[in-house]
């Protein structure tokens, strides 16, 4: 199912209004469906983990600052305070913790160091742009 966006979209339709399905599971499924369809995610629940970076995938509507590029052409940036609040509200509505709590230690895990110690977000890769 993980690589079948059509099935994921159908499950999402069935699950989103179902009172027996945890709202947090709906949020994870929605983000996974968007990610597997090549679209920016909504809740910040999906990660991008090449060999030396742990990052949130690109989040719809989120802004980043301090953009860095690694040796492979991947671009990363820190979520702005406004974006952290925006995404955290989305997460709260689905019973999930705020984005900065989920990813508060990401910078410590990374070889790329950013100033604020906040979560970083993956923007794109050169290879992705050429596809």
Buried b / exposed e along 90-114 (16+ C-beta atoms within 10 A) = bbeebebebbbebbeebbeebebeb
Q: pLDDT tens digits for 106-121?
A: 655 555 555 555 667 7
Angle at CA of residue 121, ends 119 and 124, nearest 5° = 165
pLDDT of residue 93: 92
Contact 35, 41 (CB under 8 A): yes
Tokens of 20: 């027996």
Measured CA to CA, the distance from residue 81 to residue 4 in angstroms comes to 34
pLDDT of residue 13: 83
pLDDT of residue 10: 83
Q: pLDDT tens digits for 60-113?
A: 999 988 888 877 777 888 888 899 999 999 999 999 988 877 666 565 555 555
Q: pLDDT tens digits for 22-75?
A: 989 999 989 988 888 888 999 998 887 665 667 788 999 999 888 888 777 778
Q: What is 16-79 written as a DSSP string?
A: TT-TTS-HHHHHHHHHHHHHHTT--BSSS--EE--TT--EEPPBTT--EEEEEE-TTS-EEEEE
> Is the pLDDT score of 5 beyond 50?
yes
pTM of the model: 0.78
pLDDT of residue 53: 67
């Amino acid at each position: 199912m993980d690589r079948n966006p059509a099935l994921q979209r159908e499950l999402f339709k069935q699950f989103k209004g179902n009172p027996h399905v945890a709202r947090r599971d709906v949020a994870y499924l929605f983000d996974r469906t968007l990610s597997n369809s090549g679209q920016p995610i909504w809740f910040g629940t999906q990660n991008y983990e090449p060999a030396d970076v742990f990052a949130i995938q690109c989040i719809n509507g989120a802004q980043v600052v301090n953009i860095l590029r690694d040796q492979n052409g991947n671009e990363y940036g820190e979520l702005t305070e406004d974006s952290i609040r925006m995404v955290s509200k989305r997460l709260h509505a689905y019973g999930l913790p705020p984005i900065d709590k989920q990813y508060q230690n990401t910078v410590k895990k990374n070889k790329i160091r950013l100033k604020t110690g906040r979560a970083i977000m993956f923007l794109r890769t050169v290879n992705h742009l050429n596809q």
